[in-house]
Structure 1
Amino acid sequence: MCRDDRIEIGFLLFDGFPMACLTSVIEPLRAANEIAGQETFCWTLLSERGQKVRSSAEVGFDAMRGLLDHGEVDILFLLSSPTSRFENSSAGNAALRSLGRHGTILGGISGGVFPLVRSGTMQGQPVSVHWCYEAAFEAEFPDFDARSEVIVRTATRYTAAGAAAGFDLALHLIQDRLGAEIAHEVACWFQHPMMRGAGVRQQVPSATQPETGDSLPPLVARCVTLFGQDMSEPVSIADVAREIGVTPRQIERAFKRATGKSPSHYYRAMRMKAARQMVMYTADPIPEIAASVGYSSAAPLVTHYRAAFGLSPAEDRRRINRFRVEGNAPLPSV
C-alpha cells in the first residue's frame, strides 16, 4: 500500500488486455521513483474478483485485489480489449461510479475506454479512441465525443490511445508531480523521443502514402476526409469533386500518384477496414455492419470483404473468436 503522500494507481485488468499498455505506464513510473530517490508512485493490479487475468499475449497476471476490495486509489486505469465486460456488470459499473464520485480519477488505455464508457462514468467527457477501434466505438457509442488525439485529459478523466500514448501519459504524471527535468530524464532512459501532449493526433496508416510514410497530398487528404465523414451514406467521386471544386479526373490522377489505387478502390478499402473493426470488436449483426458502411444489404459487403481479407465477415468473426481468451466473450457470427 502507498503511504498518504504517494500517488496510488490502480490498473483494472480484464482478460485479453494488451500487456504493453500496462508496462508502458508502470515502467516510466518505476524509473521516476528511482531517479527521484523516493517512492512517489505506487501501483496495484486489480481484477473484477481478484482472479488471475490473462493478457492478449496469453501471459497470466495475478491480481493483488478485487475491484470491490480496492480501498482507495488516486487514479484507476482500465486495461482491456474492446469486447471486455464485467461478469457482474451491475456491481462492476457501480463500483466505478462510486470511485468517480469519491474523487478517484478514472481512465482507460486503448480498448479499456470501452468498458469505461459502458460503466456510465464518462457522460459529457471526451474520449481518446485508438484509430483501429474508431468504427467499433462509433457504432456502440454514436453520441460520444471520440477524439483522435493520443491523450485526452480532463480534471477527472484520462484516456490514451495505445501503449505509446500510455507512456506519454505516464510522463505527464511524472512532470506534474516531479517536474519536467525528471520527466525528460525518464524519457531518455527509455529512448522515448518526445512527450506528446493534448492535441497531438494519432498517426493513422490511411493518412500516409504506401511504402514512404509521407503525408498524403492535400487534395487526396481532403477526399479521404470526405470519404470518412459518414460511411453509412456513401458519396460518389463526382460528389467529392464538386465539394472540393476539382474534376473527377484530377482526383483519379492524384490518388493513382499518391496511393497506387483509384479513389473508388481506396474508398472501398476504407469501408472494409471500418467493417472489419465492427466484425472484430462489436456484437452487431452482419446486416447492420453492412448498413453502417453504406451497403443496402449484406451480400455486396460479403463479396467485397472476402476480396479484401480472404474470408467472409462471419468466417472472420469465428476465426477471431478462436483467439479470445477466457472471459473475453465470443461474438455472434451471424
Structure 2
Amino acid sequence: MQVSEKSSASRKICVFLFDKFSVYCLANAVEPFRAANTIARRQLYVWEHVSLDGGTVTSSSGLPVDTRSWAEAMPTGDFLFVMPSYDYTQYAGARMQRVLRAARGRFTTLVGMDTGAWLMASAGLLDGRQATIHWDELSLFAETFPEVDVVEDRVVAGRDTCTCGGASTTFELTLELIKQQHGALFALEVSANFMHGDAFERQDPRLRLTADSLVRSAAALMRRTLETPLTIAELAARLNIDQRSLEDHFRQEVGMTPLGVYKAIRLREARRLVELTRLSIAEISERCGYRNSSAMTRAYRLEFGQPPRAHRH
C-alpha cells in the first residue's frame, strides 16, 4: 500500500495508563498502528506507555505493563491516549487536571478512550464540544458535565479531541485516525489484518447503519473471493444492495470504485505472496484471480513500479 508523502514522518503516540485499565482497550489502541507500520514497511507510528507515577500498572485482568512516570517522560507528540477503565473517578483530582491541561499544549490531539472522556471533561477540555464515553456511564457523564455536548455515538472524532465509548470502539477510532492520515484504502488494508468487517457481510442489511460498515462488508467479501472474483453486480447482490448504491458508498468512503478497490486488494495479496512465499508467479496469478501471469505482471508493474520477479529479488 502506498502511503501519502505528507505523512512520511512518524507520528508519536503516548498511551496514558491507569490501574485497572482494559487490556482489550489497550490492544485495540495499539495493534492497528503496529499493523500500519508492518504494511507500510516503515515506522509510521511510535508509542510509549506512561502513568502518573511510573512503574508497573496492572490491568483489570491482572496483566502488568511497565510505564515511565509522566514527570520523567515529559511526553509530547501527536496523540495522547487517556485510558482509564475502572475506578476512573478517583483519578479526576486536581493533579490530573493540571497534567491534562498542560498536555493540551504538548499534543496535537487528546483522545479519551473507554472512560477517558471523564478525566478530560473534569479538566475542562471538553467544554462546548461533543463527546462520548462508555455507555454504562453516559447518563452520569452528561449530568456531571452539563457544559459537554454528550452524544450516544460510538466514536466522536474532532480536530483536536476525540472520544470513544469503550474497548471495541477504540478499534474503530484508531482506524479512523489511520484513515484521516493515510487514506481510506490503507485503513481498509489495516482492518483486513483483523478480519474487521467480515461479520457485517452476514448481517441483516438493515443493521448496516453507515456507508463505512457497508464498504467494510464489501471489502471482506472481496478478500474471500480473490481466486474467482465476482462481478460488481454479483457483489452488490450478495450484499443485498443495488449496484449504484454500492458504487456511491465506495465513492463516498474511499474515493474509488468498487472495481478499483477489488483490484487493489487482489494486487496487495499478490505482493504479500511474492514477498512471503516461493510460489511461482503463475500460481500467484491464479490465486489472485488473474487469467494468466502476463496480465497480473502488467497490473503489478503499474501499481508498484516493478514486476513481481524484480520485487522478489
Which is richer in helix?
2
Once residues 103 and 143 of structure 1 are traced to their aligned partners in structure 2, the CA distance between those partners, rounded to angstroms, is 23
1:292 corresponds to which residue?
Answer: none
Aligned length: 198
Once residues 28 and 191 of structure 1 are traced to their aligned partners in structure 2, the CA distance between those partners, rounded to angstroms, is 12
**Is residue 46–residue 67 contact of structure 1 (8 Å, CA) maintained in 2?**
no
RMSD, matched Cα: 2.8
Change (3 A) 1:78 1:102: closer
2:170 corresponds to which residue?
Answer: 166
Matched, 1:14 2:37: no
Structure 2, unmatched stretches of 5+, are 1-7, 201-207, 213-313
DSSP-derived class of the 1:159 partner: strand
Q: Deviations over 1:270-289 (max 9, x none)?
A: xxxxxxxxxxxxxxxxxxxx
Once residues 71 and 28 of structure 2 are traced to their aligned partners in structure 1, the CA distance between those partners, rounded to angstroms, is 22
1:38 corresponds to which residue?
Answer: 42
Greater RCO, 1 or 2 (C-alpha within 8 Å, sep 6+): 1
TM-score, normalized by length of structure 2? 0.57
1:177 corresponds to which residue?
Answer: 181
Q: Deviations over 1:222-267 (max 9, x none)?
A: xxxxxxxxxxxxxxxxxxxxxxxxxxxxxxxxxxxxxxxxxxxxxx
2:81 corresponds to which residue?
Answer: 77
Change (3 A) 1:79 1:88: closer
| Letter in structure 2 aligned against 1:33 | N
**Is residue 22–residue 59 contact of structure 2 (8 Å, CA) maintained in 1?**
yes
Q: CA deviation at 1:145?
A: 1.1
Change (3 A) 1:129 1:20: same
Once residues 149 and 67 of structure 1 are traced to their aligned partners in structure 2, the CA distance between those partners, rounded to angstroms, is 34
Q: CA deviation at 1:63?
A: 0.7
DSSP-derived class of the 1:158 partner: strand
Once residues 139 and 146 of structure 1 are traced to their aligned partners in structure 2, the CA distance between those partners, rounded to angstroms, is 9
Once residues 46 and 184 of structure 1 are traced to their aligned partners in structure 2, the CA distance between those partners, rounded to angstroms, is 30
Q: Deviations over 1:278-327 (max 9, x none)?
A: xxxxxxxxxxxxxxxxxxxxxxxxxxxxxxxxxxxxxxxxxxxxxxxxxx
Q: CA deviation at 1:146?
A: 1.0
**Is residue 67–residue 95 contact of structure 1 (8 Å, CA) maintained in 2?**
no
Structure 1, unmatched stretches of 5+, are 201-334
Q: CA deviation at 1:149?
A: 0.9
DSSP-derived class of the 1:62 partner: strand
Matched, 1:126 2:156: no
| Letter in structure 2 aligned against 1:157 | T
Identity of aligned residues (%): 29
| Letter in structure 2 aligned against 1:7 | R
Change (3 A) 1:53 1:198: farther
| Letter in structure 2 aligned against 1:78 | V
Change (3 A) 1:161 1:18: same
Change (3 A) 1:88 1:141: closer
Once residues 100 and 8 of structure 1 are traced to their aligned partners in structure 2, the CA distance between those partners, rounded to angstroms, is 15
**Is residue 16–residue 55 contact of structure 1 (8 Å, CA) maintained in 2?**
yes
TM-score, normalized by length of structure 1? 0.54
Once residues 182 and 41 of structure 2 are traced to their aligned partners in structure 1, the CA distance between those partners, rounded to angstroms, is 11
Q: CA deviation at 1:176?
A: 2.1
